[in-house]
Structure 1
Amino acid sequence: MPLLANPYPHVMNSLNGPTSPPVSYLVFYSDVVDGQMWCPDCRAVEQIVKDLFDASDKPKAIIYWVGDKPEWRTPNNKARVDWNVQSVPTILRIENGKEIARIVEDDILDTTSMQDFMK
């Protein structure tokens, strides 16, 4: 399934729906500002995320944009409140509608950590 960059509410709801795949991923990224994500760590992992998820034969992954820098830094940011995300990038592994693992920032760049996370 392709990497879904525009998670309309029904797409987010599909993480826990009857037709959702058994395993999905939720990728938390900074918003794009002036043509690129404002977070340098997000930019650093962008190609890895595309390689892992952006093809029809890859696992389902949804990008969750956390906002621009001021919005992200607020304690009531929706990603912080709804998903307990404290840094970007963060990737959650969702199985049968429940988070079972997460990988954060530099660990995404570590090949061994990322392979373990994807198993």
Structure 2
Amino acid sequence: MPLQVSTESPSTIAHSLKSSSSTSSFLVVYASEIDGRSWCGDCREAEPLVDAKFVDRAEVVKVVFAGQKDEWRKADNPWRQAPFSVTNLPTLIKVTGKEWERLVEEDVYDQKKLDAFVGPKRS
């Protein structure tokens, strides 16, 4: 089952990630879609691998879209701001306690790097 897109505000998502009771929480930031297809080639490459990685896992995973090209490129885009600090798409953010780590662009669809970043499935 594909991951579900969050419609929560950036501030609500940040609060949720910071206060999650799970060991790690994740946020996937993709470029928005045009006619059902992301304008970002790296996002299109990453999506099936990210979906497969998180199927049947217990971690909190939220997916958001950073906007169309013109929205994404604006300095005030909320996903570019702290605590997200996204610089490139796609970005996978892992929050563990107070630590925010990022896997960015082609590293998101590098299976070995994705596996190492997400870690083993918890029982």
| TM-score using structure 2 length | 0.81
CA-based RMSD: 2.0
What secondary structure sits across from 2:113 in the alignment? helix
Unaligned 5+ segments in structure 2 are none
Q: Percent identity?
A: 30
**In the alignment, what sits opposite 1:41?**
42
CA distance, structure 2, for counterparts of residue 60 and residue 21 of structure 1: 7
Deviation of residue 58 (structure 1)?
A: 4.1
What secondary structure sits across from 2:81 in the alignment? helix
Q: Deviations over 1:10-47 (max 9, x none)?
A: 86132122x53121111110111111111111011110
Unaligned 5+ segments in structure 1 are none
| TM-score using structure 1 length | 0.83
CA distance, structure 2, for counterparts of residue 58 and residue 38 of structure 1: 30
Runs of 4+ in 1 over 6 A off after TM superposition: none
Contact 1:30–1:65 at 8 Å: present in 2 too?
A: yes
Structure 2 counterpart of 1:39, which letter? C
**In the alignment, what sits opposite 2:65?**
65
**In the alignment, what sits opposite 2:93?**
92
CA distance, structure 2, for counterparts of residue 32 and residue 73 of structure 1: 15
* 1:1-119 alignment runs, 5 A limit: 3-9=3-9, 12=13, 13-17=15-19, 20-55=21-56, 57-82=57-82, 83-99=84-100, 101-119=101-119
Structure 2 counterpart of 1:62, which letter? K
CA distance, structure 1, for counterparts of residue 39 and residue 12 of structure 2: 25
Contact 1:66–1:77 at 8 Å: present in 2 too?
A: yes
**Structure 1 residues 27, 43: CA separation in 2 closer, same or farther (over 3 Å shift)?**
same
Contact 1:15–1:97 at 8 Å: present in 2 too?
A: no
Deviation of residue 70 (structure 1)?
A: 0.5
